[in-house]
């Protein structure tokens, strides 16, 4: 069951932050983010779909996805994992291409955490941290909050 | 004993590469890079010195150093570790500040590898990979090859 959204302030004008609480255990949420066959089922807010997902879960490993728009256009995406703490934290970015090659056009770094609350619920925090304020504003205008929020709801529904 | 320098081509116009061979075992070279009390003794080409070094050796952990010029000016520096394979590979960058905050002015990412050769020697490869070609050219003009080469010689002398 998704619970009401929480509000938390970003740390800087280069950061977007989404905080949500759920009664789903964090192990299930983490599995949804790290197992391709699960990720493909919730990652893109409908009516978009994820048609492909490859995950190499180690620092420097890649997460390759292909998203398909309602009219059939495909958007491949490659991210690189930076930090992995099973069930607790996942950090990834497009600031690198494979083999630590710096991406000339870095957009953002995602820092995801799943905290177990005293109530037994899980608090999910997604920070999107940008190299520039301009990129941050663009990301907000692209609908980060709505998109990531909707994707979170889809994940909760899937693994509940 | 330092052996002659080797020449290897960079992978792109955004990369500088230094390759050296030595009969020092890679475990000793890796120790020199990861133990502060060793690092301080070789890290800066003389007459510069390193006056402080703190290392938190994990992905996302920092390496904080202070370098002092011959006329006493101090230059603090913070890097963040990205990938750590003991005795084999070390990747770090100034593209991030602590806590994965993107650095608005990223300069380069270092990918260091130590390979054991059939001869028993160690091949050290230092790749400096930049977000822009401009940064790469600046780094070359700052004397990357000479500076890192001299520092390597100092490390080899220290741990031999």
pLDDT tens track for B73-109: 999 999 999 999 999 999 999 999 999 999 999 999 9
Q: Are A106 and B111 an interchain contact pair (Cβ–Cβ within 8 Å)?
A: no
The mean per-residue pLDDT over the stretch B29-38 comes to: 98
CA A114 to chain CA centroid, Å, is: 12
In a domain, A10, yes or no: no
In a domain, B8, yes or no: no
Query: Residue A86 in 3-state DSSP?
Result: coil
| pLDDT at residue B61 is higher than 60 | yes
| pLDDT at residue B67 is higher than 90 | yes
List the beta strands (DSSP E) in A45-131: 49-55, 62-68, 74-85, 89-93, 96-97, 101-102, 108-116, 122-130
pLDDT tens track for B139-160: 999 999 999 999 999 999 999 9
Q: Are A91 and B60 an interchain contact pair (Cβ–Cβ within 8 Å)?
A: yes
| Contact (Cβ atoms closer than 8 angstroms) between residue B103 and residue B82 | no
pLDDT of amino acid B12: 81
Q: What is the mean pLDDT of chain B?
A: 94
A110–chain B nearest CA distance, Å = 9
Per-residue exposure over B32-70, b if at least 16 CB sit within 10 Å of its own CB, e if not: bbbebebbbbbbbbeebebeebebeeebbbbbebbbbee
DSSP code, position B103: P
Closest CA to B63 of B31, B87, B97, B113: B97
In a domain, B5, yes or no: no
Query: Residue A116 in 3-state DSSP?
Result: strand
In a domain, B6, yes or no: no
Contacts of B61 in chain A (CB under 8 A): none
pLDDT tens track for A112-141: 999 999 999 999 999 999 999 999 999 999
The CB-side HSE value for B136 (13 A sphere, CA atoms) comes to 20
In Å, how far are A127, A155, B19 from A11, measured between CA atoms? 9, 26, 41
pLDDT of amino acid B3: 58
pLDDT tens track for B115-125: 999 999 999 99
In a domain, A4, yes or no: no
Within chain A, which residues score under 50 in pLDDT?
none
**Is ipTM > 0.90 here?**
no
In a domain, A79, yes or no: yes
Q: Is B91 within 8 Å of chain A by CB?
A: yes
pLDDT of amino acid A3: 58
Q: Are B83 and A59 an interchain contact pair (Cβ–Cβ within 8 Å)?
A: yes
Q: Is A136 within 8 Å of chain B by CB?
A: no
Per-residue exposure over A22-58, b if at least 16 CB sit within 10 Å of its own CB, e if not: bebbbebbbbbbbebebbbbbbbbeebebeebebeee
| Contact (Cβ atoms closer than 8 angstroms) between residue A48 and residue A67 | yes
Angle formed by the axes of helices B144-159 and B133-141, nearest 10°:
60
**How many distinct structural domains can be found in chain A?**
1
B111–chain A nearest CA distance, Å = 8
| Contact (Cβ atoms closer than 8 angstroms) between residue A100 and residue B83 | yes
Please tell me which of the candidates B59, B101, B111 has its beta carbon nearest to residue A100.
B111
| pLDDT at residue B2 is higher than 60 | no
Q: What band does B10 get if pLDDT is binned at 50, 70 and 90?
A: confident
In a domain, A88, yes or no: yes
Q: Are A82 and B91 an interchain contact pair (Cβ–Cβ within 8 Å)?
A: no
Contacts of B84 in chain A (CB under 8 A): 59
Domain that holds residue B148: 15-159
Q: Is A62 within 8 Å of chain B by CB?
A: no
pLDDT of amino acid B5: 60
Give the domain CATH number at A19: 3.30.530.20
| pLDDT at residue B130 is higher than 90 | yes
Closest CA to A98 of A32, A54, A34: A54
Would you state the structure tokens that stand for residue A99, as one six-digit string?
Answer: 């083999």
Closest CA to B34 of B55, B9, B20, B18: B55
Which carries the bigger pLDDT value, residue A2 or residue B14?
Answer: B14
Please tell me which of the candidates B60, B95, B99 has its beta carbon nearest to residue A102.
B95
With pLDDT > 70 as the criterion, what percentage of chain A qualifies? 94
In a domain, B3, yes or no: no
Ramachandran region of residue A120, left (φ > 0), alpha (ψ -120 to 50) or beta? left
pLDDT of amino acid A37: 98
């Amino acid at each position: 069951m998704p619970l009401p959204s929480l509000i938390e302030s970003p740390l800087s004008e280069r950061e977007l932050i989404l905080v949500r609480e759920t009664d789903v255990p964090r192990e299930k949420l983490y599995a949804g983010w790290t197992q391709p066959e699960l990720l493909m089922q919730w990652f893109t807010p409908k009516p978009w779909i994820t048609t492909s997902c490859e995950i190499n879960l180690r620092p420097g490993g890649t997460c390759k996805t292909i998203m398909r728009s309602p009219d059939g256009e495909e958007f491949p995406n490659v991210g690189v994992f930076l930090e992995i703490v099973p069930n607790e934290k996942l950090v990834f970015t497009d600031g690198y291409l494979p083999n630590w090659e710096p991406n000339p056009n870095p957009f953002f770094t995602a820092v995801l955490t799943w905290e177990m609350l005293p109530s037994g619920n899980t608090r999910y925090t997604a920070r999107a941290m940008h190299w520039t304020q301009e990129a941050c504003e663009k990301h907000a205008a692209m609908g980060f909050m709505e998109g990531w929020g909707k994707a979170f709801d889809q994940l909760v529904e899937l693994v509940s």
